[in-house]
């Protein structure tokens, strides 16, 4: 392997840290073989053909993230969904589809996010109101329980218990709602990426061998 190819592949691998190790090894091996078969000797030629290592890594991650079965052994989490959405958006921005179309797509995506997460944060604010109210009722009950106004203190203590009950009832629902919203937004962005990111950058050595056999 020439030093030019070696340096390019090394930089590419460093930019694929979010790819599962096995997939990363396969993808890196694919592009190593691709460059060796093409007998590239200049970095500028490689950058023209594939883009810089960072650009290629973004395209690979965007393509990988559009695949719903990209990580079949690992359950999807809000964190992994947010990462997938981010890479797909970066891939869309890097795709040669025109600035006006990109801006229109981003506007629609951010509008949907604003609607979804507006609902989520409204519920969080509602829950926070009960949390603050519970704290105030606790302070009031402490100030009155050991005085002649202890019945009023008991009322505030009862309000505190109601606030705690509401928080305990709503908290799991809000957490689940946040997870569902993130998953739905990711699904929308993933479907959008499938329609816009036509080129298959996520290539493995096994895929290459399969294509050659055909």
Domains of the chain by residue range: 3-99+199-213, 103-196
- 130 by Cβ neighbours in 10 Å (0-12 / 13-18 / 19+) ranks as middle
pLDDT of residue 98: 62
Q: Are the CB atoms for 84 and 190 separated by under 8 Å?
A: yes
Give residue-wise pLDDT tens across range 157-184: 777 777 777 777 877 887 888 788 888 8
pLDDT beyond 50 at 214: no
pLDDT beyond 90 at 136: no
pLDDT beyond 50 at 72: no
Query: DSSP states of 87-149 as a string?
Result: HHHHHHHHSSS-HHHHHHHHHHHHHHHHHHHHHHHHHHHHHHHHHHHHHHHHHHHHHHTTSTT
pLDDT band of residue 91 (cuts 50, 70, 90) is confident
- 11 by Cβ neighbours in 10 Å (0-12 / 13-18 / 19+) ranks as middle
Q: Are the CB atoms for 165 and 66 separated by under 8 Å?
A: no
């Amino acid at each position: 392997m020439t030093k030019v190819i070696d340096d390019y592949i090394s930089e590419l691998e460093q930019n694929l840290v979010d790819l599962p190790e096995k997939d990363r090894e396969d993808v890196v091996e694919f592009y190593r073989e691709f460059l060796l078969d093409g007998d590239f000797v200049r970095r500028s030629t490689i950058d023209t053909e594939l883009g810089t290592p960072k650009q290629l890594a973004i395209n690979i991650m965007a393509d990988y993230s559009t695949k719903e079965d990209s990580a079949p052994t690992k359950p999807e989490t809000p964190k992994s969904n947010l990462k997938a959405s981010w890479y797909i958006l970066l891939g869309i921005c890097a795709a040669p589809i025109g600035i006006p179309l990109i801006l229109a797509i981003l506007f629609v995506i951010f509008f949907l996010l604003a609607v979804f997460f507006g609902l989520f944060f409204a519920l969080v604010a509602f829950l926070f109101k009960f949390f603050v109210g519970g704290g105030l009722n606790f302070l009031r009950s402490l100030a009155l329980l050991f005085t002649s106004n202890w019945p009023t203190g008991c009322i505030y203590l009862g309000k505190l218990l109601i606030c705690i009950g509401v928080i305990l009832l709503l908290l799991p629902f809000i957490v689940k709602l946040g997870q569902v919203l993130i998953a739905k937004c990711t699904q929308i962005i993933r479907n959008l990426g499938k329609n816009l990111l036509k080129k298959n950058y996520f290539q493995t050595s096994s895929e290459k061998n399969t294509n050659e056999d055909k």
